């Protein structure tokens, strides 16, 4: 009977060591997962920032191209001042939306600073 007890306590000790090792591995995996997830979130943030800049530059380049194309157009087909004003307003509106932060990133009304007079 004494031999079985020694063998059993050896197995119990081994089981406790394996459980402790498993817990350590679980904690280490969680830390590595958190580090990787933070890296992915950081990369996604940088990608969104770059995408915003690229779209803004593309919009500006398209505006410059359209402006240059309009400047080189024949003078016989000049547009009215109202048409030019509407086109300018359309370009300004598009640029405003391209440069302003997304709706979810705008400060809440309560977070905005009051206008000082």
What are the tens digits of pLDDT across the range 37-69? Answer: 999 999 999 988 888 888 888 888 888 887 777
pLDDT of 33 higher than 70: yes
Strands (E), the chain: none
Note the pLDDT of residue 84: 78
Which comes out higher in pLDDT, residue 99 or 42? 42
Q: Are the CB atoms for 110 and 71 separated by under 8 Å? A: no
Q: How many domains in the chain? A: 1
- How far CA 95 is from CA of 11, 60, 81, 99, 106, in Å, comes to 71, 8, 21, 6, 17
Give a yes or no: residue 91 inside a domain: yes
Length of the chain: 117
Query: Whole-angstrom Cα distance, residue 99 to residue 58?
Result: 12
pLDDT score at 37: 95
Asked whether residue 85 carries a pLDDT value surpassing 90, the answer given is: no
Query: What pLDDT, on a 0 to 100 scale, did the predictor assign at position 43?
Result: 93
For residue 114, the SS3 value is coil
What domain range includes position 37?
Answer: 2-72+79-104
**Contact (CB, 8 A) for 55 and 98:** yes
Name the band, by pLDDT with cuts 50, 70 and 90, for residue 75.
low
- The pLDDT assigned to 56 comes to 82
Q: What is the mean pLDDT of the chain?
A: 79
What's the token pair of residue 80? 């009215």
Single pTM value for the model: 0.44
């Amino acid at each position: 009977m004494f031999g079985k007890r020694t063998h059993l306590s050896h197995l119990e000790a081994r089981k406790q060591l394996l459980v402790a090792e498993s817990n350590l591995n679980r904690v280490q995996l969680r830390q590595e997962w958190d580090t990787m997830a933070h890296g992915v979130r950081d990369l996604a943030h940088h990608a969104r920032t770059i995408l915003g800049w690229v779209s803004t530059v593309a919009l500006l380049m398209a505006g410059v191209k359209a402006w240059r194309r309009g400047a080189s157009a024949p003078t016989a087909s000049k547009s009215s001042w109202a048409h030019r004003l509407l086109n300018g307003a359309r370009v300004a509106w598009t640029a405003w939306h391209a440069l302003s932060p997304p709706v979810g990133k705008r400060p809440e009304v309560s977070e905005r600073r009051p206008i000082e007079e």
